[in-house]
Structure 1
Amino acid sequence: MTEKTIRQKLRPFSLLTASMALACATTSAHAAQDTVPATDTQATTPSGDAKANNTKKQDAYNHEAEHGFDVTHVTASPMNVLHESIGLSRMPQDAMHTPQNVNVVPQVLMQQQNVKSLDEALKNVPGITASVGEGEGGMAGDQFLIRGFAAQNDIYENGLRDFGVYARDSFYYDHVSVIKGPSSEVFGNGTTGGAINIVTKTPHLGNSYQASFSGGSGSYYRGTLDVNYQINSTTAFRLTGMGNENNVVGRDYIYSHRWGIAPSIAFGLGKKVSFVLEYFHQNDNRIPDYGVPVVTPTGGIGYPVTERGVKRTNWYGTTYDQDNTSDDMITGRLTAKVSPILTLYNDMRGGIFHRYFSASQEACSNFSSGATLTNNTFNGVAPSSTCQSDYLSGNAASAQVARNGGVGGPEPYRQSDWSIQDVFSGVAHLKTGHIRHEIIGGFDIEYVTDHRQNYAYGSNRASTSLLDPSPYVPGLTLGDCSQYPNRLVNIGNGVGRKCYKDSSALDVGFFLSDQVWLTKNLSVKAGFRWDHWNSTYSATGGSTATPDVSYGQNETTINPSVSLMYTPRSNLMVYFNWSESTTPLSLYVTNSSEPMTAKSQSAAPERSRLYEVGAKYSAFHDRIGFTAALFRLEKNNSTQTDPTTGDVSATSDQERNQGLELSVSGTLLRNWMFYGTYALYDPTITKAGSTSSKQGGQIQYVPHNQATAWTSYEIAPRKPWNMTIGGGITWRQGVWLDQLNTNRAPATVEFDAMVAHHFNNNWKVAMNAYNLDNRLNYGSLFTNRVTPSVGRSFLFNISAQY
């Protein structure tokens, strides 16, 4: 199988991408303009609909808002996120009345920043970092960590898990919620650091037509479309679409060509029984970026080679590298208000995910002659064996980077997954005597299966220069299992060179909670979730030098949660939360290189525990929201991924992250919006259970300090000479890349800005600038490599709304 054949079969339809972008630019509809602050007679909802606000409101706690001390008359800022919904039936309260720290990225902020992906949206949330592909599996896609703990299986959409391994575009997002801390009582296994829930755009009553076109640095071309059509008094249809082509400023050869579509229809709008049916498809052809290697002097601290003079544009892949994904999900959400005290929900999703992945994992190391990296050796000598010593000793021109990875991989593979999940829940409001209750209960069933077919190159991918790499490898051929069985990636723990890897997991869960109001202002919520997790893994075919293997794991877990809430007014809450979560080692079926081994199939799951106390205050007629949270997060039996072998193993490490998180968002003055967050962390390895961890060291990827800020001001609104100007900063202190605290990534500081002008109520032009000082930052992190972030870039946007 040749490179040309692979590309012909797998390259997405670039013409379709360009056509959609052109159609979006020339249509009479256009993209949503920035929401302006609502006045005292009009409040703006998250979906952009204006509603009368001339009645006194009560919250879910039957408290009337108490604002007698406020003198301003501006209300309901769209930047104040405290009254945004979490976006799932199992957490029916808004962010204000949820007893956990919740960061929400609102629609108006994403519009002003011209956010184009989930990764860009989450830059506004402190405590989130991204990791690159690892080991022989080369996970890539969206791989996030929350408060330093893996969350690659904790991405949800409208409360249902998104199992796919792909880079998510944000064209159909309404807002994004990040629920911090263990939440297994709600979501099931996982959620050590928290959960990410995407709330999508859904049909609403009334007609609207929106579209936009963007173009700019890095040959960036993007078109989006959002049309809502009311069919009758209770039925509406909505269609969102996207076409996107771009290179990455500051990185050679890296690009993404993608398109997506998300139609949905809603029945029973405004009625007691409603049903929303949604379909999502995204096709993406991109180049995986494994970044640049970290070099470590003897006895010193390792830093990325780009900190020592190597060009930030250097990419160490080959022309064979591709990450092609095709993702489809269909979702049905039923809501039935059975009685004034009982509402039932049933949410179901099915997903099919296809992927072809081929990446070159660079290695710049100091191995001895005859190192055991079989597929990296030439006549017994690894080409990267003197890479670091050559570079650090002044012989940089001779430094060679190997591209076959630590175990002769990752070699290319084709991945096919499908999943199904159904969550049935009920929310009941009732009284026992004078005591009120909110009872939430239901069950959750999910099944996911993963099938991978490995390919192999007929020869080694030759090493390349550290200073001046070349992606071209003449004469390299790619074959299937039968052609090169002895050159397949060498899976660790004696599994050997296998052709097929198959995994599956079934989780059956039951959850129940009860919030009891002891007084009008004081309530206690207690709940638990019971889960039974069954997973299998097998590696078959390929080389006959080792036998086929098959492993299995069964786990039954119970995760409790207890919260105490004091709400003297609807706009103020003080809370305490204690909760636990568990993460079986075999949880990451679709996005882990090797879910189980003979040893790890009997390993105990990770166990996490959260203690959090916080306060939330929505001030000045909901104009500004303030949050503060003190937390302590403990994790036992931590897992690690070996950067050389890709093995996922239990380490018996004990980790603790504790700290303070603050946020403020809303309208400071009329026409002046602000969104800011700050996090102070003390991430500590309290017990080193393996030689790869440092007792008392700092947890990898977690900074001590992190902050974001964004502000915008609208000059002369509704005047012909109107203008909106805005800007912000993202700052993350330097972090350790490994548990031994020997490799480090420096601080990230990024300045962004925007300017916009409205021609009338329908048309808008805007310009966004990113990384204004062209600073060398690092977005995705891993133990021995990092990926430089985008360089200085500009994006022009024209949009319309009718």
Structure 2
Amino acid sequence: MSDVTTTPVRSGPMFLALGCVGFIASAPAVAAEADVNRGDGAPDILVNGVRDKPRLISPKAVADLIDTPRSVVVIDKEVIRQTGSATLVEALRTVPGITFGAAEGGNPIGDRPFIRGFDSQGSTYLDGVRDIGAQSREVFAVEQLQVVRGSDSTLGGRGSAGGSLNIVSKLPEPRTFATADLSFGTADYKRTVADLNYALSDTVAIRLNGLWHDQDFAGRDAITAKRWGIAPSITIGLGTPTRLTASYYHLDSDELPDSGLPYLYTIGNSPNLGTSYSEPAVGTFTTANGVTGTVDRDTYYGLKARDFRDAKTDQATLRVEHDFGGVTLRNTSRFSHTSQGYIFTMPDDSQGNVYGTGQVWRRANTRFGATDSIINQTDLYGTASTGSIKHSFAVGAEASWEKAVRGTYVLSDGRTAPRCSALAIARFTCTSAFAPHPNDPFVNYGSDTAAGVPAPITRGAPITRTQNDARTLAVYGFDSITLTDALILNLGLRYDNFRNTVQPGLAAAATTDRYGLTRQDDLINGQVGLVFKPTANSSLYASFATAATPPNSLLGEGQEGNGVAAAAGTSAEQLAAARVLLDALQVEKTKSYEVGAKVDLFGQRLSLTAAAFRTETQNARATSDAGTVTFIGERRIEGIELGANGTILPGWTVTGGYTFLDAQVVDGGFSTLTAPAVTAGGIVVQPARPISVVSINTGRRFPQTAKHSATLWTNWQATPAFSIGGGGFYTSRVIGGYSDNRSAVQSAAGVVTVVPATRTVIRSVPGYWRFDARAAYRFSDAIELAVNVQNLTDKTYFNQVYTAHYAGIAPGRSAFATLSLRY
């Protein structure tokens, strides 16, 4: 159910710190933390060359992974280290079925993984606590990454239609150790990571993780990335029933963002009849006006004099826990603040300039903003028995307060049509597709007209900024019930009360007061699974789970089809239009069905998994044939997932899998065509008439989803000192969006006829294989030298896909050496 109210805007503190709380952060997990880490900061490799099978690190454990009736992937710190991953996106490339989108259509720059075809940007958690602020995450302080696939609002609350990510932090351990990794490589790659853990006593330890990173990008002109971070923590009471952990995390990033490459064709100038792919403009081509040129992979359309991105993240966490025999009570409180500001060039093809004239509009995408959150959660977890039936349970509650404010920079970027006029070219807001210059002397002007005068780039006035405030109160419970040695029932239920207030930005010249719109939704989600165990180390399972995505669930920190947009006009007009829209919105609901099998081999060192699933969204937001917002949208994804993780033979480890996704938009609603007015002798006989037609998306494959994807990373300890490894990563074609040239005409009698499409353009990027390699030599227990080569074949491929304008291009071949020191 939902309640919608209109609220006045009042000044004052945004959050009130309340107590109590909880949340099931990761997938139903496995062992206690003490079972997972050796505590010396070294790779999890035993003396005989066998690496421990990765285990979920989570206090919210209700079952072993093999007894968990859903698909879960764990990326441990050793895989992150071996693959040379520096960011969350780089680490996630080892998981099949995940694709990436980025900033477009109001979506900010930041990590935007798609899991099973659904945007999971707002379903990312840090140590089980929602981490909603848009950001590009590092891995220098990461112990483990957990990918839960399938609808899981029962675990994490709102969203999570296709799955979620949980990032596990490095925290103090009960013995002293120190590690340092110093990396240098091609494209001016420099990186230093330090991990220091000191046991002050048997029960007290401190840990400090630090990072400094600076690089250019192989095969890409101009772009750079610099960042530094620090993550100190202390635990009091290690090895005792009562423990207190305090931690802090800071990351500061400064970069020149990559602009990618524009798509070559638009529907207006595609030279092909029928259906054709419009791919990014790379290589040699001839424009419609007869100019031949080449767009190299390193082509950069941005402007050093204008473009930038600055981002900061600060997080403080306090955790208290106490053991009562077989039951543990934990309370976690966190304050988080993320901020970023950027101007980056979107090389826009929407006007047909790339293929039409060989020009590219340097459209400026801008944003500044910040998110703040206070979250408190309490978990009670352990084991109990009712007669012969055993229970492994986790219950808890969560209270959270979140705030997000965003605005745009005021600047001129040549938006006045035509986009690539002589004036735009002279002011460098439009450039050659074949020979752009990042060092063009861009100067901002007060307007896009010839009368404009130089002006500074400024932030939009406070009245133009949009603010979202949200409050969540939730309770949940999970139980893994061992009915017999061969039969386990897994149950979960969660209730959320989510209240969101949005204050839309008004025009800078507005003289009326701002207004706020409040909506409240009650969300109930559940999951049920049945596990049959033919043997102690194998299982067959079937499960059902739900997810709920209420309006404005991302607080403007991601692109959501169910958000509230401000209407044009005065404040009163905006209020009326937005109120009608808000009243009409509904919670988008998703259901997932899954069956699978799991087996642990070779003394539980190697895990093999297989799953088949179906995910349905039956009330997605769409436009009706009357041109109004309705909830007739339907999406369906069916697929299979195969996985392997662990040790095949002593010294030979492997991680990877294969995913097949058949993702279809069953009902995309309607779009509108306009039949031009009919005139006779200068008199309008019939006015222009709109007509609704079935959306071009209906019946087509999901955007942002690869039908086939596969990953494999393996490492062989050839001798006690020397190891060699490598991996292959495959992704099939990924769709950005669709368009066609359907049109409407009308007769003098007002009869409207739809003219069928003669051209359909599918904006997409082709599939690709990428290969990486690594070799390492351990001189002693304290010194190791490793060399990583990424994109070994120097493949030109695109790793991010956008709806209409451009695609992100991946770096070329790079290599770096890492000297690891351990104490």
TM-score, structure 2 normalization: 0.79
Q: Deviations over 1:539-561 (max 9, x none)?
A: 34543369655333221111111
Instruction: State whether structure 2 residue 237 is matched by structure 1 residue 268.
Output: yes
Q: Deviations over 1:544-596 (max 9, x none)?
A: 36965533322111111111112344422222110000112301115137841
Does structure 2 conserve the Cα–Cα contact (< 8 Å) formed by 1:576 and 1:614? Answer: yes
Does structure 2 conserve the Cα–Cα contact (< 8 Å) formed by 1:633 and 1:657? Answer: yes
CA shift at 1:453, angstroms? 4.0
Give the Cα–Cα distance (whole angstroms) in 2 for the partners of residues 345 and 650 of structure 1.
Answer: 43
Q: Deviations over 1:10-51 (max 9, x none)?
A: xxxxxxxxxxxxxxxxxxxxxxxxxxxxxxxxx984755799
Q: Residue 643 of structure 2: SS of its match in structure 1? A: strand
Which of 779, 789, 795 does residue 810 from structure 2 map onto? 789
Instruction: State whether structure 2 residue 431 is matched by structure 1 residue 451.
Output: no
Q: Deviations over 1:372-398 (max 9, x none)?
A: xxxxxxxxxxxxx441442xxxxxxx4
Which residue of structure 2 lines up, in the alignment, with residue 735 of structure 1? 734
Note closer, same or farther for the CA distance 1:429–1:193 as it changes in structure 2 (3 Å cut). Answer: same
Does structure 1 conserve the Cα–Cα contact (< 8 Å) formed by 2:39 and 2:174? Answer: no
CA shift at 1:207, angstroms? 0.7
Which of 442, 466, 469 does residue 396 from structure 2 map onto? 442
Which residue of structure 2 lines up, in the alignment, with residue 231 of structure 1? 200
Rg larger for: 2
Which of 781, 784, 795 does residue 775 from structure 1 map onto? 795
CA shift at 1:270, angstroms? 1.5
Which residue of structure 2 lines up, in the alignment, with residue 116 of structure 1? 86
Paired amino acid for 2:73: N
CA shift at 1:466, angstroms? 1.3
Which residue of structure 1 lines up, in the alignment, with residue 703 of structure 2? 700
CA shift at 1:75, angstroms? 8.3
Which residue of structure 2 lines up, in the alignment, with residue 310 of structure 1? 295
**More moved, 428-437 vs 544-553:** 544-553
Which residue of structure 2 lines up, in the alignment, with residue 189 of structure 1? 158
Which residue of structure 2 lines up, in the alignment, with residue 591 of structure 1? 557
CA shift at 1:791, angstroms? 0.3
Which residue of structure 1 lines up, in the alignment, with residue 140 of structure 2? 171
Which of 590, 613, 621 does residue 603 from structure 2 map onto? 621
Give ranges in structure 2 of 5+ residues lacking alignment.
Answer: 1-34, 286-293, 415-427, 448-452, 566-577, 672-694, 740-760
Which residue of structure 1 lines up, in the alignment, with residue 312 of structure 2? 326
CA shift at 1:351, angstroms? 0.4
Give the Cα–Cα distance (whole angstroms) in 1 for the partners of residues 630 and 133 of structure 2.
Answer: 24
Give the Cα–Cα distance (whole angstroms) in 2 for the partners of residues 47 and 97 of structure 1.
Answer: 26
Does structure 1 conserve the Cα–Cα contact (< 8 Å) formed by 2:622 and 2:668? Answer: no
Paired amino acid for 2:803: T
Paired amino acid for 2:593: Y
Q: Residue 765 of structure 1: SS of its match in structure 2? A: strand
Which residue of structure 1 lines up, in the alignment, with residue 478 of structure 2? 513
Q: Deviations over 1:196-251 (max 9, x none)?
A: 11111111111101001001111110001001000111111110100000011111
Note closer, same or farther for the CA distance 1:50–1:111 as it changes in structure 2 (3 Å cut). Answer: closer
1:305-454 correspondence to structure 2 within 5 Å: 305-306=281-282, 309-319=294-304, 320-340=306-326, 342-365=327-350, 385-390=351-356, 398-404=357-363, 410=365, 412-454=366-408
Q: Residue 403 of structure 1: SS of its match in structure 2? A: strand
Paired amino acid for 1:302: S
Q: Residue 469 of structure 1: SS of its match in structure 2? A: coil
Give the Cα–Cα distance (whole angstroms) in 1 for the partners of residues 261 and 255 of structure 2.
Answer: 18
Note closer, same or farther for the CA distance 1:763–1:639 as it changes in structure 2 (3 Å cut). Answer: farther
Which residue of structure 2 lines up, in the alignment, with residue 256 of structure 1? 225
Does structure 1 conserve the Cα–Cα contact (< 8 Å) formed by 2:622 and 2:669? Answer: no
Q: Deviations over 1:260-293 (max 9, x none)?
A: 0011111211222222211100000012223111
Give the Cα–Cα distance (whole angstroms) in 1 for the partners of residues 299 and 621 of structure 2.
Answer: 32
Does structure 2 conserve the Cα–Cα contact (< 8 Å) formed by 1:272 and 1:336? Answer: yes
**More moved, 559-568 vs 147-156:** 559-568
CA shift at 1:133, angstroms? 0.1
Instruction: State whether structure 2 residue 541 is matched by structure 1 residue 581.
Output: no
Give the Cα–Cα distance (whole angstroms) in 2 for the partners of residues 636 and 489 of structure 1.
Answer: 41
Paired amino acid for 1:723: F
Which residue of structure 2 lines up, in the alignment, with residue 395 of structure 1? none
Instruction: State whether structure 2 residue 506 is matched by structure 1 residue 551.
Output: no
Does structure 2 conserve the Cα–Cα contact (< 8 Å) formed by 1:562 and 1:579? Answer: yes
Give the Cα–Cα distance (whole angstroms) in 1 for the partners of residues 604 and 536 of structure 2.
Answer: 10
Note closer, same or farther for the CA distance 1:436–1:620 as it changes in structure 2 (3 Å cut). Answer: same
CA shift at 1:458, angstroms? 5.0
**More moved, 103-112 vs 537-546:** 537-546
Give the Cα–Cα distance (whole angstroms) in 1 for the partners of residues 797 and 413 of structure 2.
Answer: 35
Give ranges in structure 1 of 5+ residues lacking alignment.
Answer: 1-42, 54-72, 366-384, 391-397, 491-495, 642-647
1:719-734 correspondence to structure 2 within 5 Å: 722-734=721-733
Note closer, same or farther for the CA distance 1:208–1:399 as it changes in structure 2 (3 Å cut). Answer: same
Does structure 2 conserve the Cα–Cα contact (< 8 Å) formed by 1:316 and 1:470? Answer: yes
Does structure 1 conserve the Cα–Cα contact (< 8 Å) formed by 2:49 and 2:650? Answer: no
Which residue of structure 2 lines up, in the alignment, with residue 753 of structure 1? 773
Give the Cα–Cα distance (whole angstroms) in 2 for the partners of residues 747 and 452 of structure 1.
Answer: 35
Give the Cα–Cα distance (whole angstroms) in 1 for the partners of residues 334 and 491 of structure 2.
Answer: 28
Note closer, same or farther for the CA distance 1:203–1:729 as it changes in structure 2 (3 Å cut). Answer: same
Does structure 2 conserve the Cα–Cα contact (< 8 Å) formed by 1:524 and 1:565? Answer: yes
Paired amino acid for 2:498: W
TM-score, structure 1 normalization: 0.81
Which residue of structure 2 lines up, in the alignment, with residue 684 of structure 1? 664
Give the Cα–Cα distance (whole angstroms) in 2 for the partners of residues 89 and 271 of structure 1.
Answer: 16
Across the two proteins, how many residue pairs are aligned to each other? 688
Paired amino acid for 2:501: T
Instruction: State whether structure 2 residue 641 is matched by structure 1 residue 661.
Output: yes
Which of 409, 433, 437 does residue 470 from structure 1 map onto? 437
Instruction: State whether structure 2 residue 566 is matched by structure 1 residue 601.
Output: no
